[in-house]
Amino acid sequence: MWPFTRRRVLESGLDRLPLCHLPAPLDLSKARRVLVFAPHPDDESLGCGGTLALLASRSQVKVVLLTDGGGAGGLPEGSDRLRQEEFKAALVQLGVDHFELLGYPDGAFAPDPMIEARLLEVIMTYQPDWVFLPSPLDYHRDHVRISVMLEPLCRRCKTVTHLLFYEIWAPVPATHVVDITEVVGMKRSAISQHRTALSCGDYLGAVEGLNRYRGLYLGHDRLAEAFWVEPVGQRSLFRRLREFSLSLLGQMAGESGG
């Protein structure tokens, strides 16, 4: 039994793994023009608010809000306008001055040629080098659809060097982390502006727990945000993980409906 097991380990390359293979600290000094796509008001603060606060002091940062924030019919009338104002207030707390509201339907985002053309125009006009996207492994339908649509569009822009996928409803396979300990107060203040979302759940407590967990990669008493970072010039894992995610979500939907 042992020789078979040992052979499989050698063939798989598991014997070459380092003792403790942790996500690397992300070097923020390499970013020049940062573009962030947020599916809903609050995603920008929950997923990467601390990192945006750090980047805003050294780089040009723009956040694009894709949906109107209406809550897919689960919120009172007028919540879309209110959440958009909360989004703007949150960006102030993070020190971000540039944003764009696209106003697509919340909960029913469906890519089409006109939307793709509009988003490609946003990317090409801004000419970013770093682009932050929701993870395609997320459990929210809007997040997955937006990520899958944007990834190839970003690769068409020659200035884009890195795609950075952030986590909301499901953890990412983290390749990098950012120490946000010194700006966690700014992140809390930004999340606190999203009062409509906070009335639906303890997002503030949940994301701080996630950030404390990710901070374990950096040592004692640190908080961190984690990202799956893909350099555009390297072989992409995106498509393989996307297919896995869609298969998993389909299986989960089938089991819940069965």
Q: Answer yes or no: is 126 within a domain.
A: yes
Q: Answer yes or no: is 159 within a domain.
A: yes
pLDDT of residue 75: 80
pLDDT profile of the chain (258 residues), mean per 10: 54 67 94 98 98 97 95 79 97 98 91 95 98 93 93 96 96 96 98 95 96 96 96 75 67 64
Q: Answer yes or no: is 242 within a domain.
A: yes
Measured between alpha carbons, how far is 95 from 240 in angstroms, rounded to an integer?
36
Domain that holds residue 248: 24-257
Q: Answer yes or no: is 29 within a domain.
A: yes
Read off the pTM: 0.87
The 3-class secondary structure across 186-231, one letter per residue, is: HHHHHHHCCHHHHCCCCHHHHHHHHHHHHHHHHCCCCCEEEEEEEE
pLDDT of residue 12: 62
Q: Answer yes or no: is 207 within a domain.
A: yes
pLDDT of residue 242: 67
Overall domain count for the chain: 1
pLDDT of residue 120: 98
SS3 160: coil
Cα atoms in the Cβ-side hemisphere of radius 13 Å centred on 201: 6
Q: Answer yes or no: is 236 within a domain.
A: yes
- Is 125:156 a contact under the CB 8 Å cutoff? no
Q: Which amino acid is at 99?
A: F
Q: Answer yes or no: is 211 within a domain.
A: yes
Q: What is the CATH number of the domain that holds 218?
A: 3.40.50.10320
The H or E element containing residue 29 is none
Measured between alpha carbons, how far is 133 from 135 in angstroms, rounded to an integer?
6
Q: Answer yes or no: is 98 within a domain.
A: yes
pLDDT of residue 256: 64
pLDDT of residue 234: 73
